[in-house]
Amino acid sequence: MVPIDNITGVILAGGRATRMGGQDKGLIPWQGKCLVESVIAALRPQVSTLLVSANRNQLQYAKLCNCPVLTDTFGHYAGPLAGMATALQQAQTDYVLFVPCDSPQLSLQLASRLYISLINHQATISVADDGCRLHYVVALIKRALLPDLLTFLNQGKHKVSEWYAQHSLARADFTDIPETLVNVNTLEEHAILTQANN
């Protein structure tokens, strides 16, 4: 059984979105709403508490998501790990499920697959694998890793894959539903995905 009561869900929305021309990705249109609203809808039933990690438009995120919005405390736009660290500090649960704000088709099996994989591999981090690549910011992480992450960041390091490589990492299999991990980084990808859903 997946311990939903013991999982905090965190939407990472604190990037610069340079490939999107600087537009805040979570707030771009998606099926008549903002993209982050689709992420929230998929994540909410799978976790006990929700948090958003953002470095701009915090009021808008708070209204749309109806949950606390955290601003990175480890440098401005220092990368996803900075948002993860801030969220791990705030979370009260043993597990924290991170998702990006730009993946509008997330599976309702996300938490269960990541959790089962983490337990089966006796890992501390579980990452979604679509068969072609790992989605580093779709991950279930044990909150107990916070001190280690702080040490890593305090060394001036920011690379997600480098930090993960220092830990026991499980790969959760999403090869049967890779479309649930698709994210939109550019206006072109946004247009293609919008068209595919019409």
Ligand X SMILES: Nc1nc2c(ncn2[C@@H]2O[C@H](COP(=O)(O)OP(=O)(O)OP(=O)(O)O)[C@@H](O)[C@H]2O)c(=O)[nH]1
Q: Which amino acid is at 37?
A: E
Instruction: Check residue 17 for interaction with ligand X (CB under 6 A).
Output: yes
Binder of ligand X out of 18, 92, 166, 197 (CB under 6 A): 18
List residues forming the annotated binding site for Mg(2+): 102
Given a contact cutoff of 8 angstroms between Cβ atoms, the answer to whether 146 and 73 are in contact is no
Binder of ligand X out of 38, 97, 102, 181 (CB under 6 A): 102
Q: Which is closer to ligand X, CB of 46 or CB of 53?
A: 53
At its nearest, how many Å lie between ligand X and the CB of residue 51?
Answer: 10
Scan residues 40-59 and list those touching ligand X (CB under 6 A). Answer: 53, 55
Separation between Cα atoms, residue 187 and residue 119, nearest integer Å:
38
Instruction: Check residue 79 for interaction with ligand X (CB under 6 A).
Output: yes
Binder of ligand X out of 88, 100, 111, 115 (CB under 6 A): 100
Q: Which is closer to ligand X, CB of 121 or CB of 143?
A: 143
Separation between Cα atoms, residue 68 and residue 61, nearest integer Å:
9
Instruction: Check residue 9 for interaction with ligand X (CB under 6 A).
Output: no
* 163 phi, psi to nearest 5 deg: -70, -45
Given a contact cutoff of 8 angstroms between Cβ atoms, the answer to whether 79 and 104 are in contact is no
* 124 phi, psi to nearest 5 deg: -110, -15
| HSE-up (13 A, CA, CB side) for residue 38 | 24
Binding site for ligand X (CB under 6 A): 12-20, 25, 53, 55, 72, 77-80, 82-83, 100-102, 137, 185
